[in-house]
Chains A and B, each alone.
Chain A
Amino acid sequence: MTLSHCLILASALFAIGVYGVLTRKQVIAILISVELMANAANLVFIAFGRYRVPSAVGAAPGQLFALFSLALTVAEVAVGLALVILLYRSYGDTRVGLASELKS
C-alpha cells in the first residue's frame, strides 16, 4: 500500500463517478455519482496528507483540506437536493432532459 496505489484507486473511483454522471438520466442518480467523485478527490487529499514526496516544499495539510472539502460537499448536496425537489415540483419528474427550456 503506497501513495501510487491510493492515487490509482482514487482515479478509478473518479472515473466510475464520471461514467455515472454521463450515463444517468435521473438528477438524483447524477448527484450520487458526483458524490462518488468528491469522495475520490477526498481520498487523494488524505493520501497526500499521509505520504510525503521528497521534493515537496513545506507541510501539506491534507486532512485539513479533506475536512474543508467534506463541508463543501455537504453544502452542495443540500442545495442540489433542494434543486431536485424544485425540479420535481415544477415538472413532475426528475429526468434531466425535461429542464431544457433555456434551449429554445
Chain B
Amino acid sequence: MSASIGFGFVAACAVLSALFVVRVKNLVHAALWLGVTLIATAGLYAMLDASFLAGVQVLLYVGGVSVLMIFGVMITRKHDGLVVEAESTSGPRGVFAAVGLFAVLATSIVMTPELDGAVAVETVTARHLGRSLLVDHVLAFEVVSLLLLIAIIGAVVLARRRDHGVERKELPAPRREEVSS
C-alpha cells in the first residue's frame, strides 16, 4: 500500500515536471524542470530495484545532461535580455498528436492481458550488471565506448570555431565584431 502511494507521488512529480518542461516559457527553467523529471525517474528506478541505474541516472543525467543543456542555453542566448524565451507554436495539432499517441499506447497496454501476470524477478545487483557487461556482452560494451569516443570527436569537430568554411548569415548586431575574414 505504501509502495503504491509512493509510486503515485513520484509518478505525479514526473508527469507534472515533464509538463512544465514542455510548457514553461523560460528555457533555463525548462532545463531545470527536466532535472526534476530525471530525479523523479531515478526514484522510480530505485523503486524498481535498479539502484545502480538510479545512481547512474542522477550522476549522468541530472549532473551531466541537464547542466549541459543549461550551458547550451547560456551559450546561444541573445545578448539583449536575461530571459531566454522559448517560443511554442500554439494550436491543437501538437496536443492532438500527443494525446492520440498516449491513448493508443495506454489502450494497447491495458488490452494486453499478459502484462497483468508479470512477476517480479530477483534483484539485479551492480555485481551482476558488471559481470554481464564485461563477460557476456563485452563486444557491445567496447562498441559503445568506441561510439562515445566518435561522438565526442564529432562534437568537438562540429563546434570548433572555424575561421573559414562556415558562411555567416544575418549576424545580430552584438556579435558583428566577431566576424573573421
By a beta-carbon cutoff of 8 Å, the part of chain A in contact with chain B is 1-9, 11-20, 22-26, 28-29, 31-33, 35-36, 39, 42-43, 46-47, 49-55, 61, 63-64, 66-68, 70-79, 81-86, 88-95, 98
Contact = CB atoms under 8 A, between A and B. Distances in A.
Given A7-B105, A23-B94, A92-B169, 15 more contacts: A11-B105, A19-B95, A22-B94, A25-B86, A28-B76, A32-B69, A39-B41, A43-B45, A53-B114, A63-B124, A74-B60, A81-B159, A82-B158, A86-B166, A89-B166
Given A9-B14, A18-B97, A85 B72 contact: yes
A73 B38 CA distance: 13
Contact of B30 (A29, A42, A49, A79): A29
B83 interface: no
B104 to A, nearest CB: 9
Given A32-B69, A72-B144, A77-B65, A16 B18 contact: yes
Contacts of A83: 158
Given A22-B98, A64-B129, A81 B68 contact: yes
Nearest to A18: B98
Interface in B130-179: 132-133, 137, 140, 144, 147-148, 151-152, 154-156, 158-159, 161, 166-172, 175
Interface of B: 3-4, 7, 11, 14-15, 18-19, 21-22, 27, 30-31, 34, 37-38, 41, 44-45, 47-50, 52-53, 56-57, 60-61, 64-65, 68-69, 71-73, 75-76, 78, 84, 86-90, 93-95, 97-99, 101-102, 105-106, 109-110, 114-121, 124, 129, 132-133, 137, 140, 144, 147-148, 151-152, 154-156, 158-159, 161, 166-172, 175
Contact of B56 (A22, A70, A78, A85): A70
B44 A43 contact: yes
A22 B92 CA distance: 11
B53 A63 contact: yes
B69 A64 contact: no
B10 to A, nearest CB: 9
Given A33-B21, A66-B50, A94 B89 contact: no
A22 to B, nearest CB: 4
